[in-house]
């Protein structure tokens, strides 16, 4: 199984060392981006976690 961490630059920086320490960097692609602008295509599943819990309705609907 392979996964992608698609996140803002700050989050990628912080997560990379943790992913390396866990020994799973070879099965995890790190992609910097903003899902309001684009989402990596061609994947089998997308999991969004802890994203809209603190957003107002207008932003969450977007």
- pLDDT tens series, the chain, 62 aa: 889 999 999 999 999 999 999 999 999 999 999 988 999 998 889 888 887 778 888 888 87
Q: What does the pLDDT read at residue 62?
A: 76
Q: Return the number of other C-beta atoms located less than 10 Å from residue 10's C-beta.
A: 9
Q: What does the pLDDT read at residue 30?
A: 95
Q: What does the pLDDT read at residue 26?
A: 94
For residue 13, which phi and psi values (nearest 5 degrees)? -55, -45
State the number of CA atoms in the 13 A half-sphere of 11 facing the CB: 10
């Amino acid at each position: 199984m392979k996964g992608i961490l698609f996140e803002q630059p700050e989050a990628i920086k912080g997560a990379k060392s943790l992913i390396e320490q866990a020994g799973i960097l070879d099965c995890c692609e790190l992609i910097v981006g903003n899902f309001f602008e684009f989402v990596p295509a061609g994947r089998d599943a997308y999991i969004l976690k802890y994203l809209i819990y603190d957003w107002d309705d207008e932003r969450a609907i977007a």
